[in-house]
Amino acid sequence: MSLLETTREVMRRDQVWPFLQDHEQQVDISHQVLLYVEGLNLSFDGFKALNDLNLYINDGELRCLIGANGAGKTTLMDVITGKTRCDSGMVYFGQSINLLDKDEAEIAQLGIGRKFQKPTVFEAHTVMDNLELSLKSNKSVMPTLLATLTSEEYDFIDEVLETIGLKGERMMLAGSLSHGQKQWLEIGMLLMANPRLLLVDEPVAGMTVQEGERTAELLTSLAGERTVVVVEHDMEFVRSIARTVTVLHQGSVLAEGSMDEIQNNPDVIEVYLGEAP
């Protein structure tokens, strides 16, 4: 085990926060790849939404997925998270977990969290309560605010509040937060489940420039310990966070590389009619 791997193992959240342990299933990342998508096909009434799609995401990566409307980005996320069944292909979490065998709840339990574009926080509850309810619902018990938290659970919520930058807003009603703050709270709610892989759909849509910058910092800070896949149309934002960008087109991967490589790729330029993607 390399020094980096050893450090990651020791710092794993379920080691630091023992109450998270029962959510952690060993994922074999001995080949550094956390998510394998191979030969994925899905047709809707003869229309190929996914067309022999191959995608490999390394453990700890922050990957951006871009592509025009209808390129297949949402459909791909739906298949990975078990929301939609594909016609053929394979999706593996690490070397050995076949996600196509699992349903949505099992996939979430394995540590794959998905954030949809529209924030879905409990508006009538405080920021703290939202995180608390997420923590409890992850423990597969009827979520209730009446059950008391352990001091470790308090500390964990505190750490997540710090990560999402809402420590000062902990007692505010979620409904009174700004749009950007609601998005961060929802990311925090996902973090309560200690996800290994976070799939984030258009995080900066509707945000102010400052909120977008803060979101870039947040997602960048989550990568490394976690793996983050971001679907985004805002190219400035993609440029600010992405090391590797994957371009989808008509259900397949058209190109992959750094933002500069993507913007100079003749296939990408042709598809986008000479405009910057």
Which tokens go with 149?
């938290």
If one asks whether residue 119 binds ligand ATP (CB under 6 A), the answer comes out as no
Give the residue among 108, 14, 27 at the shortest CA–CA distance from 60: 27
**244-249 and 47-58 as β-strands: parallel, antiparallel, unpaired?**
unpaired
Span interacting with ligand ATP, options 18-26, 68-76, 133-141, 172-180, rule CB under 6 A: 68-76
What is the nearest approach in angstroms of ligand ATP to the Cβ of residue 205?
A: 11
Point out which span in 69-77, 88-96, 125-133, 141-149 binds ligand ATP (CB under 6 A): 69-77
Helix (H), strand (E) at residue 252: strand 252-257
Those residues with Cβ within 8 angstroms of residue 27's Cβ, 6 or more apart along the chain or in another chain: 34, 93, 94, 97, 110, 111, 196
Q: According to the binding rule CB under 6 A, does residue 69 interact with ligand ATP? A: yes
| Residue 73 binds to ligand ATP (criterion: CB under 6 A) | yes
Do residues 72 and 13 lie in contact, with contact meaning Cβ atoms separated by under 8 Å? no
- C-alpha separations of 27 from 62, 201, 236 in Å: 18, 24, 33
User: Does 72 contact ligand ATP by CB under 6 A?
Assistant: yes
Binding residues for ligand ATP, rule CB under 6 A, total 10
Using the minimum distance from each CB to ligand ATP, give the nearer residue, 70 or 224. 70
Q: Using the rule CB under 6 A, which residue among 33, 35, 71, 193 binds ligand ATP?
A: 71
By CB under 6 A, what part of segment 15-54 binds ligand ATP?
44, 49
CB of 125 to ligand ATP, least distance (A): 30
- 74 makes contact with ligand ATP (CB under 6 A): yes
* SS3 call for 147: coil
> Judged by CB, which is closer to ligand ATP: 78, or 153?
78
Query: Is residue 55 a contact partner of residue 62, using CB atoms and an 8 Å limit?
Result: no
Binding site for ligand ATP (CB under 6 A): 44, 49, 67, 69-75
